[in-house]
Amino acid sequence: MVEKIEPSLPLLGEKVPSFEAQTTSGKIRFPEDYRGKWVVLFSHPADFTPVCTSEFVAFQKRYEEFKKLNCELIGLSIDQVFSHMKWKEWIKEKLGIEIKFPIIADDQGRIAKLLGMIHPSKGTNTVRAVFIIDPKGILRAMIYYPQELGRNMDEILRAVKALQISDEKGVAMPANWPNNELIGDKVIIPPASDEKTAKERLEKAKAKEFECYDWWFCYKKVG
């Protein structure tokens, strides 16, 4: 009996679905093979296309920065593995860039459907989906772009950094962090949930332990 997989959209805070796949680096079991690492799993519409080529070069240019964050990159499209391999060869030969991260060959579209990467109104290819997954296999962030719009890789890198600091320090990150228009590179202390804590916040602000606009908007340097 053929397995029927309904298109679905993974939810933030949930474990990503497990799957096995053929990649340009061999077979993988996901997320099991990446336990203990952050992962950016992203789909692209097709090999040998201009926007996708520019994206892969941009990802590779930042690959070492991702690795310093204990984060791996994994690409995916519904092309066959032979197409991925030839495309990587072309990028290296013509552009002088060696793509060092694996690309999943989802030629049956099974994984793309499992993760909601195919949007029928945008065609039969995968859209530009981005999933940021933490070391426990939990989906922490996702971003979708249409085929005609290339991604900003610095934003994806920023999101991984921000999530890691948020986890480590128990803080939230403001808009455009670390270049926020109100508090610069400082981070937000979660709002007080009771009156006693709210009063303590203002007292601590007076003692210069951190800064506050009000009890519900306090912030500090990342320490």
Three-class DSSP labels, 60-94: HHCHHHHHHCCEEEEEEECCCHHHHHHHHHHHHHH
DSSP conformational letter for 172? B
Residue 52: active-site member: yes
Residue pair 56/89 in contact (Cβ under 8 Å)? The answer is no
Catalytic residue, from 52, 71, 212, 218: name it: 52
- Residue 209 neighbours by CB under 8 Å, 6+ apart: 220
> In the numeric block, which tokens belong to residue 110?
């099974």
List residues with catalytic annotation: 52
